[in-house]
Structure formats: structure tokens, C-alpha cells
Amino acid sequence: MRENFDIHEFNITIIGLGLLGGSYAKSLKKLNPKNIWAVDIDEKALKDGEELGVIDRGYTNPKEPLLNSDLVIICLYPNLVYKFIDENKEYFKPHTIITDSTGIKNGLVDEINRILPDNVDFVFGHPMAGREKKGLEYSSAEVFEGANYILTPNSRNKETSLLIVELIARGMGFRSVVRVNPQKHDEIISFTSQLPHAIAVALINSDNLNVNTGKFIGDSYKELTRIANINGELWSELFLGNKDNLVSKIEGFEEKLEIIKQAIINGDEETLIGEFRESSRRRTQL
Amino acid sequence: MRENFDIHEFNITIIGLGLLGGSYAKSLKKLNPKNIWAVDIDEKALKDGEELGVIDRGYTNPKEPLLNSDLVIICLYPNLVYKFIDENKEYFKPHTIITDSTGIKNGLVDEINRILPDNVDFVFGHPMAGREKKGLEYSSAEVFEGANYILTPNSRNKETSLLIVELIARGMGFRSVVRVNPQKHDEIISFTSQLPHAIAVALINSDNLNVNTGKFIGDSYKELTRIANINGELWSELFLGNKDNLVSKIEGFEEKLEIIKQAIINGDEETLIGEFRESSRRRTQL
């Protein structure tokens, strides 16, 4: 039972010290917790993290830090989260709060709740922030500033745990923390995150101009393709793990693009202007 | 015949003092030409321009400034450019250079060359810069800093005129000035500019989540939809004036998106990772 939450008394362990884990460490540092530890199989990342003062200590074996951690933040690829919990479930300190940063939730929540010890609380979370680069060297506290954070509570969660994760997220600089169930989360994210990545990849891969395209672009093309520089292993996991939602959102997008295409073919200015007016209204209200 | 080009001796008239015309005026100011005049039907814009010191003088009737201008920069909607030249062709000073900022060139170049007096030179140009807002109040010299400028020369152009327009563009802060024929320009622009706008509009208009979407987005969705806030009158002209190219580029994009969609449906990780690798390579090289 947690009362009188004080982050200065918290030992925090980050599992996976890559771009996201490193950004967590740097951002949490500002909140001055008792200790920030990290677990990774990459000894160089741990050593760099220690030398840069990003973490207090790094471990390749999770046992020791887990036994003493009040908060565990999992920053692993989606397919590794279950495996990590399964292999280490006996080491969690009683009343530990676990949270994650996995981009898809449905399925995972049930799978993990099935094996999770009763005396720990897993608050599933999704910081809506990332970068196209990989690795600790590209991590920064700034990626979270002003960003959105999503919690996907389930019936097992204690309200105090949810509030503590929210408080820490706000302390790290997230502007908004919202709660939504895991199913809805995955539908939303297929639209707001995965679909844009699919579009950016398809756009740049459809370039058949045979010119030095970079000399003929404005801000729009630059912005629409930034995320086409993509971590393929991570994003293919995210796409395939959220198949039905993503296919449905791609098809919804295709239908709207088809309306525009047909209006162009038919010289139908009225439909075009109608679509533009609607998109302007939506973007202004976003 | 122009020799010893010196911009400090140039009278420059901008036709249309909106977002783009105002940005030209502010940017050209740094080069200290003899005079910057503007023509507009909107007397308030002219008065504001004068009071802000953006222009030296504004005119609703183009005759007087045109009779004394060495450079005329047309910042009108595409459909108004021909009409403006036709109605004012007798007023251009001999050896005047005219340039424009129209986003589509094919057709326009031939139409205008058919009515243009022999003793003036129209250098068609396309500054790859803009903003989603309209009007002088949103204009700024910064929109051109580091941007791309495209010239679409035709057989009527003198090399000196092309070089003068390029020099002025570089002086205004454009990083790159390239030349391409009007047909190729329109093909390129349908891909690098019009297709991204069609995609952004279709993306935001396909939002059927029924949530406060803004709480669930990261940078990617923000960037992919910025241009969905769009000047509908201008962009429907641009889309419909470049119909064949744009439809072809939309279809090329749809084919690539279909490859991704099928790979998701089939659980085909190899194809996904292949597409991601190719898009990352292209984006890095852009």
C-alpha cells in the first residue's frame, strides 16, 4: 500500500536503455528520484549511461535492481515485454509499480495480467513521443516536453498507482495524460500513429521522378516524409500486432483519397473545396 | 539589353500583396532596390503595406508603376495571371523582366508567350514556399530562407534575365535555384507539393475515432496534417490545373500503400521491412 508518495524515495529501474529508455532516464533525472538504474544486454549503453550521469548504475542482470525498485519502466520492443515479465516475475519487490511504453496494448494487457504476481501493479502506458533514430546517443528529455501520454487502465490497477504514473509523467513534461481502454487505445493509435507512418513510407517510395527530388520540395514534402526514415524492426512489429485496426484505418483513408481523386478527374471544384473546408476546420480544432 | 545589373537601380512592382507578395516585398527590402511598389485591388492591404514600410507605394491601377518598373513579380492566383498580362501588356517598360510565382506552369507559358510584347522577358518561376494562412499580415521574409526556387525557362528567355532572377532569388535567401522545363515542373510539383496536400486532407478527413484526437497524437500526425489547413480556392485551382499529373501521382502512391496494406494483411514482415528500409534510404538521401 503506497501512501505519501515521494519520488525522492523511489528507486526506478528502466528496462532497455535505448532512445526511449535513455530519454526517460534523462527526463526523470530532473525529478531527482533516489536512484535511476537501467537494465540492458548492451554493456556499452550501460557504461555510456553511467559515464554521462544519465543513470546511477547499469545492470545486465535484472535481479538485483528489480528486488529494490519501486517503479520499473519497460522500454523494450513490443514482442519482448511479455518475455521480460515472465522471466523476472519472481524478482519484483512487493507493491512495485511497473509501467511500459509499448505502442500497442490489446492482447498484451491480458497476457501479462495472467502471469503477473498479485502484489505488483502494472500500469500500461504509452508516451506519444519518439524519434526516427535508435540508441541512447539520440535520447533526450526534450522529446517528452509538451507531448501526450496515454494510460490504458485495467480492472487490476489501483487508483494510487495510476495517479503516481500520471504525476511522474506530468513532472517529466508531458502536457496531457488521458485514460482509455486498451482496445480503444489500439484503434486510436492505428490512426494517429501507424497510418501516418504507412503513408510517409508509401509517399517517398512512390517517387518515380528521376530528378534530385530534394531540389524541388517545400516544407510539406519534408514534413510528410520525416518519419519515412523508420526503425523497420520496431514498426513492422507494431503494424503486424495491430493488423485489423490498421487495415481498417488505411481503407478509411483510401476512401477519402478516392473522393479527392474522383473530384480531380471530374473537374468537380465544389467537392474539392468542400473537402478542403472540412480538413481546415478539423486541423484548426485539433 | 541589360548590362551591369544593379538592383539598387531597380524599380520593382509586386502584383498582388497577399501572403506571398508581402513576403516578396519584405525579403526584397533587404536587397535595397530603388523602389518597391505593389498593385492590388485591396486598398487596405496597400495602405497597411505602406504604413508598415513593406512597400514604398501601393496602386490599385497598375499603369503608372508598370511604366516605370524594371522587374514585375506576379503573385496572383493561377487563373488571374493570363488576364493580368493581357489587360496590361501595353504598359510594360521596354526590357522589363516579369516573373511569377505560379504553382503550375504548363499551358500558362505558351498562353502568355502568345500575347507578350517582344521587348519584355517573362521568366517563369516557382518559389517552393508558402504558408497555410492568407494575407499580408502573415507574410514574412523568413518563409524563403533556405527554400528551393524553380525556374522554368522557355526559348524566348534571355540568359541575362534568367541570371538576374536567380541572383535576386539567392539574395532573398533561397538556398537552391534549379531550372527545369515547364512540363517536367508540373510533373514534379504534382508529386512534391500537390500529392502531399491531397494526402494531408484525406488523412484528417478520415478521422472517425470519435475522441478528442488532439490528446492522442504525436509529432507525426501533427506534421502530416499541418497543410490540411488549406486555402481551398487556391489549391482547387492548382489541383484541377494539373489534373493528369496529379491523378497519376495519386495512383502511384496508392499502389505503394497497397503493397504495405497487403503485407500487413498477409503478416508479411519481410516485405514491410523491405519497404521501410527503402523509405529510410530515400529519406536519408533527400
Residue among A166, A168, A15 nearest A81 (CA): A15
**Mean pLDDT over all residues of chain B?**
95
In the structure grid, which three cell numbers stand for residue A243, read together? 493488423
Give me the residue spans of the domains in chain B: 7-180, 185-285
Mean pLDDT of B230-251: 95
Backbone φ, ψ for residue A179 (5° rounding):
-115, 140
Q: Please give the interface size between A and B, counted as residue pairs whose CB atoms are below 8 Å apart.
A: 288
Given the candidates 1.10.3660.10, 1.10.1660.10, 1.20.200.10, 3.90.550.10, the CATH classification of the domain at B185-285 is: 1.10.3660.10
Q: Is the pLDDT of residue B133 over 80?
A: no
Tens of pLDDT, residues A151-161 = 999 999 999 99
Fold of B7-180: Rossmann fold (3.40.50)
Does A282 contact B207 at a Cβ distance shorter than 8 Å? yes
Does A201 contact B225 at a Cβ distance shorter than 8 Å? no
The partner residue sitting opposite A224, judged by closest CB among B204, B224, B250, is B224
Q: Is the pLDDT of residue B93 over 50?
A: yes
Tens of pLDDT, residues A105-127 = 988 999 999 999 999 999 999 99
Q: Taking each helix axis as running N to C, give the angle between helix B243-265 and helix A232-240, from 0 to 180 degrees, rounded to the nearest 10.
A: 80
Provide, as residue numbers in chain A, all residues whose Cβ is less than 8 Å from the Cβ of B184.
211
The partner residue sitting opposite A211, judged by closest CB among B188, B226, B247, is B188
Provide, as residue numbers in chain B, all residues whose Cβ is less than 8 Å from the Cβ of A271.
none
Tens of pLDDT, residues A131-169 = 777 889 889 999 999 999 999 999 999 999 999 999 999
- What local confidence, expressed as pLDDT, does residue B3 receive? 59
Backbone φ, ψ for residue A123 (5° rounding):
-100, 105
In the structure grid, which three cell numbers stand for residue A12, read together? 526506478
Does B227 contact A223 at a Cβ distance shorter than 8 Å? yes
The partner residue sitting opposite A196, judged by closest CB among B196, B215, B221, is B221
Tens of pLDDT, residues A202-260 = 999 999 999 999 999 999 999 999 999 999 999 999 999 999 999 999 999 999 999 99
pLDDT confidence tier of residue A4, bands split at 50, 70 and 90: confident
Enter the ipTM: 0.91
Cα distance between residue A88 and residue B1, in whole Å: 83
Select from A151, A191, A194, A254 the residue whose CB has the most chain B CBs within 10 Å, as the one to mutate to test that interface: A191
Residue among A47, A40, A35, A37 nearest A18 (CA): A40
pLDDT confidence tier of residue A1, bands split at 50, 70 and 90: very low
Q: Is the pLDDT of residue B100 over 90?
A: yes
Give A91→chain B minimum CA distance, Å.
34
Beta carbons within 8 Å of B42's beta carbon, 6+ residues apart: B17
Full DSSP string of B38-72: EE-S-HHHHHHHHHTTS-SEEESSSHHHHHT-SEE
Tens of pLDDT, residues B198-213 = 999 999 999 999 999 9
Cα distance between residue B168 and residue B86, in whole Å: 26
Within 10 angstroms of residue B30's Cβ, the number of other Cβ atoms is 11
Does B276 contact A235 at a Cβ distance shorter than 8 Å? yes
Q: Are B224 and B200 in contact (CB under 8 A)?
A: yes
Provide, as residue numbers in chain B, all residues whose Cβ is less than 8 Å from the Cβ of A284.
229
Provide, as residue numbers in chain A, all residues whose Cβ is less than 8 Å from the Cβ of B178.
212, 215-216
Select from B257, B259, B269 the residue whose CB has the most chain A CBs within 10 Å, as the one to mutate to test that interface: B257
- What local confidence, expressed as pLDDT, does residue A3 receive? 59
Strand blocks (E) in chain B: 11-15, 35-39, 57-59, 71-74, 97-100, 121-123, 125-127, 148-151, 176-179
